[in-house]
Amino acid sequence: MPKDYGVLTIGDAMITMNPKTTGPLRYVDQFERKVGGAEMNFAIGCARLGLKSRWISRLGKDEFGKVIYNFARGEGIDVSAVEFVEGIPTSLNFKEIHANGAGKTYYYRNPSPIVELRANDISEEMFEGIDVVHLTGVYLAIGEANLLVAQKIIEIAKRKGILISFDPNIRLKLWSIEKARKAYETVLPEVDILLTGLDEIQLISGKQTIEELVEYVKKFGIRDLVIKDGEKGSKLFRNGNWTESPGFSVTPIDTVGAGDGFDAGYIYGILNDLTEADLLKFANGVGALVTTVTGDNEGLPYLEEVKDFVSNKRVVER
């Protein structure tokens, strides 16, 4: 019987207002209420792939907070470490989507309820049954004290032999690159799996060539350097060798959440001992499927859907 693998993540979740029409936000007057957030998307992606998914967070004690909480539970996410706080409303964002599927996001999350979560709120019990801890730069950007919380999580995970994955997920609307770089370089020495876009790692490191990027990452002792490059595919540097996998050809409708889906797919592959090539192919497939549906996480696929898609068993019809 296969092992029941578990993942743990921490981060803000938001009510996402999706535009009903494409183009500049100032011309949009109708929106659909959705649920989003990088870590929430990751947690949903893992749950749909059959992993036990636990999410640590704080929500405003308001109607939107209840929407997010119930939504997460409905996706099978363990919300035992999620609490409601008074005095800070649940975070919001408004999306702007262009005709080609690209877009912008406008945040209303300062402060976010998650700044009420402190390092002493992190308990050993939260790590029971967990095989991978996934952190992102979004969480670090929301509040300065969040780095201390992340360090507490890392300390417990390392002591328990739990793998740590990290997606920089840079949000320069939330902090400067200088602050981001300082926080990232505090975390990176403890990271086993770095999941990053090419432009992100270039921005963080100040390096441009692949050779320079490898040298930059090597100094932190990171096992897997994974570079996500959208429709072009992805590549993995492990044990001194590169493995590359091309992207899948789909018609993108909404690219938001594709990177989070890729992360979930990669972690699934790691836990299920996929080869380097199959690992990237599977993660690319998850990311591609996400872009075929409007919404931050509506397109996150279930396990059989990914398996069928990457093996060309059927055409995507959604």
Question: Out of 260, 278, 296, 308, which one is annotated catalytic?
Answer: 260
Please answer whether residues 140 and 117 qualify as being in contact, where contact means their C-beta atoms are separated by less than 8 angstroms.
Answer: no
Q: Torsion angle, CA of 248/254/256/259, rounded to 10 degrees?
A: 0
DSSP for residue 222: -
How far, in Å, CA of 49 to CA of 264, rounded?
A: 8
DSSP string, 268-301: HHHHTT--HHHHHHHHHHHHHHHTTSSSSSTTPP
Which runs of consecutive H residues, i.e. helices, occur in 60-218?
A: 63-74, 137-142, 146-159, 177-187, 198-205, 210-218
Can you tell me which residue has the tokens 């636990």? 54
Q: Which residues pair with 32 in a beta bridge?
A: 18
How far, in Å, CA of 33 to CA of 245, rounded?
A: 35
Q: How far is CA 258 from CA 121, 151, 229, 262, 265, in A?
A: 31, 27, 11, 6, 10
How far, in Å, CA of 77 to CA of 70, rounded?
A: 10
199 is catalytic: no
How far, in Å, CA of 14 to CA of 12, rounded?
A: 7
DSSP for residue 231: G
Q: Just list the catalytic residues.
A: 260
